[in-house]
Structure 1
Amino acid sequence: MLKRALQPITDVLNPFKVRKPRIMNFNPVDSVLTRPVPEQVKITVFEYNERELTEDQHATLQECTDYRRSDKIKWINVDGLRKEEVNYICKEYGIHYLLEEDILSVGQRAKMDEVENRLFCLLPMVYFKAESSIVEQEQVSLVMGPNFVISFQEDPARDVFDPIRERLRIQGSKVRNMSTDYLFYSLLDIIVDNYFIVLDKLGERIELMEDVIPHQANKRTLARINYLRKEMLLFKRAIAPVRELVNGLLKSENDLLAERTEKYFKDVYDHIVQATEMAENYRDMVTNLLELYHTQTSLKMNEVMKVLAVVTTLMAPLTVIAGIYGMNFDNIPELHTKNGYFVTLGIMGVMLVSMIVFFRKRGWF
């Protein structure tokens, strides 16, 4: 009955797999992380103002050059990173070579930079893979210049920008009526907001583990706790530097950032502080899960030891009596007594029952 009741919980927690890098590969020769070269690069462009919108889902590099000549605001999203495409776009839009290297880098810490009137942000975009309870991340680079924002993503299969695309398609929406820095803020904000979605999923796993531990305090449960602790540690390590990134934007005096959008970046800063604190709290909760596991294991061990101690205590006097009368001597007085065997068994039985009654009255078991 208990096993059936716990089945939904164990089904959710069942996937326990060794973390495998989804995007990064390790090159033993160079001892560095390398990114697989994508088969194709997808470039999408949103060009807009408050009245007009042009959406190009399959833009070419030449079309990206043509869009540069327009005075409208442009959002160019590059899915899949290949050196040729990144180099071409960076040259066309005046993005410094140092920033290009950061865009193509692997495993970078979140950072913010200002080079030649270009604002650059590099930060992780995180996802929660429910099938294996893995927190996955990809590196996203955002570059803002006059009238354009360019986003570079590693994984062409997914991102979190769909709500912004929907808002851009609505005439009269705030993002359509605001300047380039508001678009830059919107992209940054939705990446940070997605951290909370991943945190909620991790919180659910922690709550489920709290229900499982009292009933299944075994090695498999301990492995799951350690696995969850590792995911929390990796998640916190990934998002913690984003706080410094947003703080750098707030301190920036770059002309690309209008004073009226400062309050929006302050809102992003509040969100990332909250996300970091939640991640820290969840990490403490996982540590408490380990303590709960060890406590439960100790209680189980104590119960076993108590039963063994009671059984040993009950059998000790009987063993002494049996040992005495089991000695191989001919001159034991009671050895040839009629019905001696049954009398001895009776005495042993009375002693056993008396000890059980005594232990029960004392509440020892």
Structure 2
Amino acid sequence: MARFLKKFDRKKGLPPGSLVFVGQQKTDKPRLRIIDYDISMMRDEFIQSIDDAAWTKETETTSWINIDGLHDAELMKRVGDNFCLPSMVLEDIMNTGQRPKIEEHSDHIFITMKMLSLDEAQGKVKSEQVSAVLARNYLITFQEQPGDVFEPVRDRIKRQNGRLRKFGPDYLLYTLIDSILENYLKVIETMGERIEEMEDEVLANPDPKLLEEINLYRQEIAYVRKSVRPAREIISRINKLESDIITADILPYLMDLSDISELSVDSAEIYKEMLASHITTYNMVMGNRLNEIMQFLTIFATIFIPLTFLAGIYGMNFEFIPELHYKYGYFILLFVMLAVTITMLMYFKKRKWI
């Protein structure tokens, strides 16, 4: 399946808002989990049906409902029915090729982003779509599969003295976005370490395998930029929202996300330029090596031109060539050839051609 653009064949001819999963199914069965908490209590459990989470709409506590697995259209329909989500929002959640975006509705805010991970063995970047619906007293997150960068957030919730327990779902959303952005930096930093190492290798040993690796990293950095640049736009829009779902106490924290998103974009751009520079340097070094080889061959051929001329004269089959019958003619010719060679080499050296 294409990485930069998902195929939309399944949605062809269907009306907007149709609940059709677009992407690669990464889990057999959706998994639902609720973490409900306030400053004095915390409840963490897995549930079998989204109907079992309907009570979270009526409580004064903060509820985090996480759903792993986006392929079940019936489950998504039940989510929409229980939490009054528009079909267009549900459609975007089930479309794993959806561009990162943010939408403000009357009773909730919808955000979808990409969560990145790096397979260091293959040097490949993998992405997973993460969507979130923020309401006044609950947050629903949707992921393609179990396993994420949110485990430290869950650990912080379990600590009663943590700041998370004192704030509502808007601060929880900030914390999750912060984890995603910090993971962007981690992925870029890990790739960047190898990209910077390539700089010396390009000059010292520019072989085809290194060129292949440079091209691989160029593709992966482009894939990272596809996620981090829209994320910067989302953070910019979050800071401009005038929704009462996001309290004034959280605004300073949201402003802090701008710095991380800008750093992620800047880092990705820097490494993109470095890789382009590596390609230029590689071509330059290989060009210089080719020039050195051609210079050597040219000098070698130039030296043999007069030697071939002399050998050609005395290799002719004329009977009356005086030197042919001279006792020391052969040795004199070798001496003349050696003298011509040395003279030409001295001339090339003087002109700094060698």
Partner of 1:142: 132
Task: Decide which moves more: 330-339 or 352-361.
Answer: 352-361
1:110 shift after superposition? 0.8
Partner of 2:23: 35
Other structure's SS at 1:191 match = helix
Aligned positions of 1:28-67 closer than 5 A:
34-37=22-25, 38-58=27-47, 60-67=49-56
Give the whole-Å Cα distance in 2 for the aligned partners of 1:253 and 1:314. 82
Cα distance change on mapping 1:28 and 1:249 into 2, 3 Å: closer
Partner of 1:9: none
Cα distance change on mapping 1:33 and 1:101 into 2, 3 Å: closer
Query: 1:132-153: CA deviations, max 9, x gaps?
Result: 1111111110110121001100
Other structure's SS at 2:246 match = coil
Q: Is 1:169 matched with 2:158?
A: yes
Q: Is the 8 A contact 1:74 1:147 kept in 2?
A: yes
Cα distance change on mapping 1:102 and 1:28 into 2, 3 Å: closer
User: What 5-or-longer segments of structure 1 have no aligned partner?
Assistant: 1-19
1:281 shift after superposition? 1.2
Q: Is 1:230 matched with 2:216?
A: no
Cα distance change on mapping 1:55 and 1:23 into 2, 3 Å: farther
Give the whole-Å Cα distance in 1 for the aligned partners of 2:24 and 2:299. 64
Q: Is the 8 A contact 1:27 1:33 kept in 2?
A: no
Partner of 2:287: 298
Q: Is the 8 A contact 1:24 1:34 kept in 2?
A: no
Give the whole-Å Cα distance in 1 for the aligned partners of 2:140 and 2:7. 28
Q: Is 1:95 matched with 2:74?
A: no
Give the whole-Å Cα distance in 1 for the aligned partners of 2:98 and 2:229. 13
Letter in 2 for 1:101: E
1:317 shift after superposition? 1.6
Query: 1:89-147: CA deviations, max 9, x gaps?
Result: 22212222221111111311110001231101011111111011111111110110121
Give the whole-Å Cα distance in 2 for the aligned partners of 1:33 and 1:178. 34
Letter in 2 for 1:130: E
Other structure's SS at 2:337 match = helix
- Percent of residue pairs identical: 32
Partner of 1:185: 174
Q: Is 1:261 matched with 2:250?
A: yes
Give the whole-Å Cα distance in 2 for the aligned partners of 1:353 and 1:28. 75
Query: 1:62-109: CA deviations, max 9, x gaps?
Result: 322244443211001111112222221222122222211111113111
Partner of 1:109: 99
Aligned positions of 1:1-365 closer than 5 A:
26=7, 34-37=22-25, 38-58=27-47, 60-81=49-70, 82-156=72-146, 158-365=147-354
Give the whole-Å Cα distance in 2 for the aligned partners of 1:234 and 1:207. 19
Query: 1:294-328: CA deviations, max 9, x gaps?
Result: 11111111111121122112222211111111112
Q: TM-score scaled to structure 1, two decimals?
A: 0.88
Letter in 2 for 1:34: V
Q: TM-score scaled to structure 2, two decimals?
A: 0.91
